[in-house]
Chain A
Amino acid sequence: MKNTKTLSVSAIENGTVIDHIPAQNLFNVISILGLDQLTESQITFGYNLPSEKLGRKAIIKIADKFFEDIEIDKIALVAPHAKLNIIKNYEVVEKRQVNVPEQIFNIARCMNPKCITNHENIPTKFRVINDGKIKLKCCYCEKDTDIEHMKLIR
């Protein structure tokens, strides 16, 4: 009985399920995808769920919403191992992974306090460098911002 109830809250008829999000980055994923701005879709999320790979993971289910690759790849910075399940009529019709994009626009702030983008209203632009560890190279000041110090634009 309890199980059925849980299922009825979390199952969606049509939409997207994003799984394997590191729990501490759930709210970053919500912010990057602008889920807090959606006015129509029903969104449910699970937080601090046990995960063998991540320790604590999060999961987001968004009803009646499908993402373009370019949109979803933005979350690779904070959830590189995220998996997407595309749901149609309660069935998983497609599984997708996220790919680290080559460039990211206006998602993160440059960590260089002397960068022009931190002083004027300029959309940020980074080249993503992935030599084992992901870093963002600012297209303006040319300095690197590492993921640990990355602050998202909200």
Chain B
Amino acid sequence: MKYKSLVAIDDYSKDDYLEIMDLAAYFEKNPVQKLLEGKVAATLFFEPSTRTRLSFESAVNRLGGKVLGFSDSSQTSVSKGETLKDTILMVGCYVDLIIMRHPLEGAARYASEISKVPIINAGDGANQHPSQCLLDLYSITKTQGTLENLKITMVGDLKYGRTVHSLIMALSHFNPTFSFIAPEELRLPEEYRTFLRKRNIPFEEHTELAPNINDCDILYMTRVQRERFADPLEYEKVKNVYILKNSMLDHTKPNMKILHPLPRVNEISTDVDDNPKAYYFEQAQNGVYTRQAIICKVLQLK
């Protein structure tokens, strides 16, 4: 059987994204589908990520498959010095699919080159986390009815945020308009701005949150982390500038939804949670359907 691992968001084309959107919608309507009956998936989490692991394991279980794996490599032969290659080849003998998270960048690409079963990258260091991006796309599709011609405003850590970078790449297929709101130190890197200019995708950049969110369809919030700042004083200056409060939402568009990859710390005030525009918990729910879709596409089951 031919299969294609999912390592990076640009492994997929526009058609692939749309196929995942349709499949995710199908699984949302029909959550229990025994398509993985008799199959086993491994969740190899070389570093802990409880939310992502549970979401994938929920997806496998809903599809009728069985899961084995580990959630922290300290209890495994990796701590005895086993190479990644040996671990992947060995586990590949036991399972039909490997879902892996690894602290080192490029680990999933390497695993996909040597593995005889497909690999789904559940995060490799600061590099790629494609299932997060696809669930973001699904959340956008669900709330806006389309991915086309939307205005997406991204806030917070645009320099290091891998979800932000992946989403820019994926949405570039759908004629978006972007607005980026970040402190100077965490501004979107030049390579992405160049990418957007080359594609003639309009974007604006701001440093202030409140006055710049009234015209967007999606408000994508991310966490501004203290450890990203070389100068702690700079963090102190900006830390309260990027906190979204319920009162700021009065003049935003009625269809606007707030997304956040979670975990949230204080960048979205809890008084926003009950606003119908808050969508970050539903977004996590969408992750299960999206991951069901990804698993089926990778294994060519649907």
Q: A31 on the interface (CB 8 Å rule)?
A: no
> How far, in angstroms, from A139 to B127 measured CA to CA in the complex?
12
Annotate A107-151 by CB proximity to B: 1 below 8 A, 0 otherwise. 000101011110111100000000000000011111100000000
Cβ contact within 8 Å between B8 and A140: no
Annotate B129-163 by CB proximity to A: 1 below 8 A, 0 otherwise. 00000000000000000000000000000000000
Interface residues of B in 105-139 (CB under 8 A from A): 105-107, 109-110, 124-128
Contacts A112-B105, A119-B104; A142 near B84 (Cβ below 8 A): no
User: Main SS of chain A's interface residues?
Assistant: loop
Q: B83 on the interface (CB 8 Å rule)?
A: yes
User: Total A-B pairs in contact (CB under 8 Å)?
Assistant: 49
Which of the residues B107, B126, B128 comes within 8 Å of A116, measured between beta carbons? B107
For chain A, give the interface size range. Answer: 10 to 19
> How far, in angstroms, from A120 to B85 measured CA to CA in the complex?
9
State how many angstroms separate the Cβ of B73 from the closest Cβ of chain A: 13
> How far, in angstroms, from A75 to B108 measured CA to CA in the complex?
30
State how many angstroms separate the Cβ of A20 from the closest Cβ of chain B: 32
Cβ contact within 8 Å between A121 and B125: no
Cβ contact within 8 Å between B109 and A114: no
> How far, in angstroms, from A122 to B83 measured CA to CA in the complex?
10
Query: Which A residues contact B (CB, under 8 angstroms)?
Result: 110, 112, 114-117, 119-122, 138-143
**Besides the known contacts A115-B106, A120-B83, A120-B110, 17 further A-B residue pairs in the complex with CB atoms under 8 A apart:** A114-B104, A114-B125, A115-B105, A116-B104, A116-B109, A116-B110, A117-B106, A120-B85, A121-B83, A138-B106, A139-B106, A139-B109, A140-B109, A140-B110, A141-B127, A142-B105, A143-B105
User: 8 A-B pairs, CB-CB below 8 angstroms?
Assistant: A110-B106, A115-B106, A116-B84, A116-B105, A116-B106, A120-B110, A140-B105, A140-B106
